[in-house]
Structure 1
Amino acid sequence: MKTILAPMLAAFMSIAASGAFAGPPEILHAEAARDDMGWKFTVTIRHEDTGWDHYANGWDVLAEDGTVLATRTLHHPHVEEQPFTRSLRQVLLPDGTRRVFIRAHCSKGAATKEPVAVEIPL
């Protein structure tokens, strides 16, 4: 039995260390503020970035119907900076928008389980 368990345990540890079990990005905080003629969105994300092979690579501002209004692309991993905060400026929203949603995603295709609602200040 030991001879079977040792290789299985080694394989599991290898997969776990590679980040294959890293979950989707988690949005810890998101807010909107007036930014000249548009809006500035500031988002704090936590993700188990492992390096270039698996990292949080962006977030979207979504309308209530799911339409992508803007995307903030993250061009590199944040292995040593967790959680991290990034902003996107000059986002134009359709007239009358009072709430949007933020959805983060990673380079493996996983996205936040539930987009986070952000109220647009009057």
Structure 2
Amino acid sequence: MRVEKTLSSIKIGIFAGFSLLLWGANALAGEADIIKVNVDCSASLCNMQATVLHEDSGWDHYADRWEVLNEDGEVIATRVLLHPHENEQPFTRGLQFKKPTGLQRVEVRAHDSVHQYGGKSVLVDLP
């Protein structure tokens, strides 16, 4: 009886350790960072290119979008990233959005499927 309890405890410990190891591997990729932004605007439209850095580790943990926020922190445009970029780091993707009247500065931030927000964002003055 005592041996069975000990073996059961060992099995639970191994399972818990393995689970933490898997969770930790996903968490190691960290948060998604915006490392560079280029923007070109006309009177009413902006074309933006954002470069994202994230150690994508497959479908369970990858940078899944980046967003443009106005001065009040409201999302005004979103670029959805449809798949992991495990073998392309950093990567750059574009987005065109309507420029709200009077908008002079935006924040560009990235989002990942595990940590959500929290990585480096970039403030950009619009031309």
**TM bucket normalised to smaller:** 0.7 to 0.9
User: Which of the two has higher C-alpha Rg?
Assistant: 2
- Superposition map of 1:11-26 within 5 A: 11=18, 14-17=22-25, 19-26=26-33
Decide whether the 8 Å contact of 1:24 with 1:112 is kept in 2. Answer: yes
Runs of 4+ in structure 1 off by over 2 angstroms are 10-17, 34-37, 112-115
Tell me the equivalent position of 1:70. Answer: 77
SS at match of 2:60: coil
Tell me the equivalent position of 2:88. Answer: 81
Deviation (angstroms), 1:31: 2.1
Relative to its length, the structure with more helix (as a share) is: 2
Post-superposition CA distance 1:65-100 (Å, at most 9, x none): 0111000000000000000000002x1121111110
- Structure 2: runs of 5 or more not aligned: 1-13
| TM-score (norm: length of structure 2) | 0.77
Report % sequence identity.
42
| TM-score (norm: length of structure 1) | 0.80
